Each structure stands twice: as C-alpha cells, then as structure tokens.
C-alpha cells in the first residue's frame, strides 16, 4: 500500500489560535466536504509562513464560517493570518493510483475558495505514469516545473 494525497486545502488562512482548547484543527464543513476531508481524520499541516509542520485531527466548525482554528498545542505553531496547506492522506494499492482524482482547493485571503482543482494520474501507451492538474471543467492546467538551476519556470 502507498500513502498518497486524499485531498488538500492550499493557502487557507488561520482565523484563530485557541491554546486552551484540548487539541485539533477546526475547519468549515463546506471546505472539508469539497476536499474530501472527514471529521476526526488526521491531517498534515504545513505553515507557509513559519515552515512548521504538524499533524492533528479535524473537527468541524460552523458551516459557512470559513474558519481555520488551531487548537491546543497546535495553536503554538500558527498565528492568525498564517497561510497553511492542509493535506489528508489515503492508502492505496499502487495500481489504483489512476482511479484517484484528489480535490485541491485554493483560497483567497478571506478563505473563500478561488479554485477547485483535481490531480489526475494516468498511464501512457508505454505504461509510464503521467500527471495532470485539472480545473473544474476538466481542462488540463500547466504543471509548474523548473528546469535546471536558475532557469525560469516552465508552463
């Protein structure tokens, strides 16, 4: 079995840190549902501002609140306004990777969803893996790559 991305909230901002609550991250149920993240599911959290990396479980806040609240010890790693990447994981047999299309949501500064993307893995005629990022309509977007040291981003 391989651990792969199940869903991702990319660029969501911390709305509150609550050191006195007994742990977890509180998220808007609408965001979780759209990304396929379940209540009580463990997620990895990467703070783009500080570089902190933590793991905790999800509890649901008020629907439509756009909240992202770090609770308990996790509150020490993130401050209101910090930009986070929150990623759930699933385990799959390697051959099943082509059946997945994990959702990736991107956010503006007010935690409104800006994009709803999907990751897609397929195989070409030679059996080699191909990776694509798809928009809501299923159109393929450029994959951001850097070719060689100091070169411009391609795509």
Q: List active site positions.
A: 24, 57
Helical H runs in the chain? 29-35
Number of residues written out for the chain: 155
Q: Which two tokens stand for residue 38?
A: 């379940």
Candidates 36, 27, 83, 81; CA nearest to 56 is 27
Contacts of 35 (CB under 8 A, 6+ apart): 7, 8, 9, 88, 103, 104, 105
């Amino acid at each position: 079995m391989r651990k792969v991305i199940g869903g991702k909230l990319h660029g969501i901002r911390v709305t509150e840190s609550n050191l006195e609550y007994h742990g977890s991250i509180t998220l808007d149920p609408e965001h979780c549902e759209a990304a396929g993240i379940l209540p009580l599911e463990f997620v990895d959290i990467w703070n783009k501002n500080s570089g902190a990396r933590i793991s905790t479980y999800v509890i649901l806040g008020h629907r439509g609140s756009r909240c992202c609240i770090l609770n308990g010890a996790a509150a020490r790693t993130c401050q209101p306004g910090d930009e986070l990447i929150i990623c759930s994981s699933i385990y799959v047999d390697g051959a099943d990777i082509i059946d997945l299309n994990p959702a990736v949501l991107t956010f503006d500064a007010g935690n409104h969803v800006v994009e709803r993307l999907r990751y897609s893995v397929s195989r070409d005629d030679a059996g080699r893996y191909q990776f694509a990022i798809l928009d809501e309509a299923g159109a393929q977007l450029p994959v951001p790559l850097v070719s060689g040291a100091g070169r411009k981003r391609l795509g």
